[in-house]
Amino acid sequence: MLLLLLLFEGLVQCGASLEASQVPGPPHPATEEPLSFRVLQTSSFANRSWASSQASGWLGELQTHGWDNALGTISFLRPWSRGNFSAKELRNLQNLFQLYFHGFIIEVQAFEHQFQFEYPFELQVSAGCTVCAGKASGTFLNGAYQGSDFLSFRGDSWQPSPGAGSRAQKVCAVLNQYLDIKEIVQTLLSYTCPRFLAGILEAGKTELERQVKPEAWLSRGPSPGPGRLLLVCHVSGFHPKPVWVMWMRGEQKQRGTQRGDVLPHADGTWYLRVTLDVAAREAAGLSCRVKHSSLGGQDIVIHWGGRNSALLTLLCLVVIVTLLVLLVGHSCFKKHSSNQKALAAAVHGPDSPTGADTQGPRTPGHQLYLPQESWIKNRFLKKWKTSLHQLWGR
């Protein structure tokens, strides 16, 4: 929630509308996008004797820094996470953070009773700055107690968040007495942070501005109900994050299109799932359209297997009909021939005297068709004999 607000704040400060940032135009340098660098801190206080802090550094939604609690050192997670700061400057910052994290826990524990913090509790801080088109465009420092907005640093003083109550007012009143702390915070936010941010943006340029084309494919989701289909369009492996994906019928956007969250892959590229719930008979003719800066205006369009599946159905039908014809034909033929055999057997009897002795040994197998053959032969012979007799005048 806090993060979302901060992100939104950053975007608005930069004068870019949310919608515009979601519809990528032609490829453009990432420095024109509002970008923030923030340090996130979460401190958990389990009881009077146990507390622990975690901290990390983020460029937008990409984690660039960790904090090693045991060693009290900054972990640089990207090759370019040092930006253009010198080793000395980074060491100074590291020392400052060591003092801060240590002091933070001690001070909170010392004031816990006065501030009426109730164990167990969690304090979070998000602090940083934004740049837009290469220029510093804003700073922020927000604190949360038990996951809710608690206070912020604005201008040159601490202010309680609306609705955070008298506890937040008390904390701000105390904090505002420490002029040194306010000065350090102001310097870090307004001077150090924008310089550092500009430095890592420059150093990480190649990775941050890389254009990776998405892959897209369709699948069918769990049926939303009888006679309905959930069409799923998967878009995966793209960079940068802004992407436009829509279910379409021709040039018409489908208003029921549901967009999921854009999820990160481990390699820094992104994944998005966009679904549409439709009546099964209306699925044909729909397509999923993907716009992304890496595609250079050549949208990806994938058609729901309307035509394809019709073709497939036709093919299946042809195969089934062919099989049926073959099957019926075969059984007809079998029936036909067995009918003939039955007829032959009925005419001549199974052991017709004019049997096929001439056909060699009678095996059960032969018995089935021999009578038929001999029947033809016998008739032929009879006729032949008759004509011979006539010829001889007998």
Residue 50 as a binder of ligand NAG (CB under 6 A): the answer is yes
Residue 112 as a binder of ligand NAG (CB under 6 A): the answer is no
Residue 198 as a binder of ligand NAG (CB under 6 A): the answer is yes
- 235 pairs with which residues across the strands? 216, 272
- Tell me how far, at minimum, the Cβ of 133 lies from ligand NAG, in Å: 13
Residue 44 as a binder of ligand NAG (CB under 6 A): the answer is no
The region of 140-148, 195-203, 261-269, 301-309 touching ligand NAG under the rule CB under 6 A is 195-203
Pick one of 202, 277, 282, 373: the residue that binds ligand NAG (CB under 6 A).
202
The region of 192-200, 275-283, 288-296, 378-386 touching ligand NAG under the rule CB under 6 A is 192-200
Give the count of beta carbons closer than 10 Å to the beta carbon of residue 124.
21
Packed helices 165-175 and 87-115: angle between N→C axes, nearest 10 degrees: 130
The region of 24-32, 105-113, 193-201, 345-353 touching ligand NAG under the rule CB under 6 A is 193-201
- Tell me how far, at minimum, the Cβ of 147 lies from ligand NAG, in Å: 18
Identify the CA nearest to 373 among candidates 338, 345, 332: 345
- Tell me how far, at minimum, the Cβ of 171 lies from ligand NAG, in Å: 23
CB-CB contact of 341 with 369 (8 Å): yes
| Beta carbon nearer to ligand NAG, 194 or 214 | 194
Residue 84 as a binder of ligand NAG (CB under 6 A): the answer is yes
- Tell me how far, at minimum, the Cβ of 61 lies from ligand NAG, in Å: 22
- Tell me how far, at minimum, the Cβ of 54 lies from ligand NAG, in Å: 15
Residue 195 as a binder of ligand NAG (CB under 6 A): the answer is yes
- From residue 376, alpha-carbon distances to 262, 352, 365 in Å are 83, 13, 19
| Beta carbon nearer to ligand NAG, 49 or 206 | 49
| Beta carbon nearer to ligand NAG, 47 or 177 | 47
Pick one of 1, 4, 19, 49: the residue that binds ligand NAG (CB under 6 A).
49
- Tell me how far, at minimum, the Cβ of 47 lies from ligand NAG, in Å: 4
Residue 47 as a binder of ligand NAG (CB under 6 A): the answer is yes
Residue 279 as a binder of ligand NAG (CB under 6 A): the answer is no
| Beta carbon nearer to ligand NAG, 182 or 195 | 195
Residue 133 as a binder of ligand NAG (CB under 6 A): the answer is no
Pick one of 66, 199, 264, 305: the residue that binds ligand NAG (CB under 6 A).
199
Residue 122 as a binder of ligand NAG (CB under 6 A): the answer is no
Residue 191 as a binder of ligand NAG (CB under 6 A): the answer is no
Number of residues that bind ligand NAG (CB under 6 A): 10
Residue ranges in contact with ligand NAG by CB under 6 A: 46-47, 49-50, 84-85, 195, 198-199, 202
